[in-house]
Amino acid sequence: MFDLGGRLAVVTGCRRGIGLAMAEALAAAGADVIGVSAALGETGSEVAARVGAQGRSFVPYRADLSDREAVRALARWLGQRDRPVDILVNNAGTIRRAPAAEHSDADWDHVLEVDLSAPFLLAREVGRDMVARGSGKIIFTASMLSFQGGITVPGYAAAKSGIAGLTRALANEWARHGVNVNAIAPGYISTDNTQALREQPERNQAILERIPAGRWGRPEDLAGITVFLASDAAAYLHGAIIPVDGGWLA
């Protein structure tokens, strides 16, 4: 039921953090992986090694997802390959922190482009082919801030709320065509992205007090849900936005 043997998965933002854990988990379940990142470099070979250790193939693809032309080129490249994409994990994301009154146009545009527009464009292009074939899985990485705005992250919160709406909208259209569109909404996960928060003792303590599980999440905590959503076990799940947050007390 959870076997992904013979499936091809595309994971964006797989160079490190949550995306790396997702790519590794999908490969462990049997999927071959195409990994998309802005800069693969040395850590790219770490992804290749960790996916390869699962006995699956890993193809790196470098693309800056803030550049719409690069996103289009990626979609074209995927469409021209002889093997269709079975699983699209739209995970890449970025955050810019500044009080709302000081949030610049440039920061707003950048975050919206990477966190909302690029996932939509990719889902549209890959999803069109999935609809034609009558099967496919699209997984978005949302956030607990999809539901609760947060502080000093207006662009990010807007983009991630948008991802929640997009997940439901695509699911509503494509469920009848055999395509499952769902999202994972992580809470506080220990990655490079959140290191600055952990380094502030008071902030870190305040966060921990609201996590019943008593610890930050780890990228590996997202592995099981990713495999589940990518698998036949999730065949009747459409438009779900699943929190993985240690029970976060909102």
Please give the residue ranges that form the binding site for ligand NAD (CB under 6 A): 13-19, 37-38, 64-66, 91-94, 114, 141, 143, 186, 188-189, 191-194
Report in angstroms how near the CB of residue 245 gets to ligand NAD at its nearest.
8
Q: Which of 61, 156, 188, 236 is catalytic?
A: 156
Alpha carbon 39 to its chain's center: 17
Report in angstroms how near the CB of residue 194 gets to ligand NAD at its nearest.
5
Report in angstroms how near the CB of residue 192 gets to ligand NAD at its nearest.
4
Q: Which of 30, 232, 226 is nearest to 141 (CA)?
A: 226
Q: Is 156 a catalytic residue?
A: yes
Q: Which is nearer to ligand NAD, 97 or 177 (CB)?
A: 97
Q: Which is nearer to ligand NAD, 50 or 235 (CB)?
A: 50
- 42 within 8 A of 60, measured Cβ to Cβ: no
Report in angstroms how near the CB of residue 5 gets to ligand NAD at its nearest.
26
Q: Which of 157, 244, 246, 243 is nearest to 208 (CA)?
A: 246
Q: Which is nearer to ligand NAD, 136 or 187 (CB)?
A: 187
Distance in angstroms (rounded) separating the CA atoms of residues 30 and 38: 25
Distance in angstroms (rounded) separating the CA atoms of residues 90 and 183: 9
Q: Which is nearer to ligand NAD, 64 or 129 (CB)?
A: 64
- CA contacts within 13 A on the Cβ side of 128: 9
What residues are labeled active site?
156
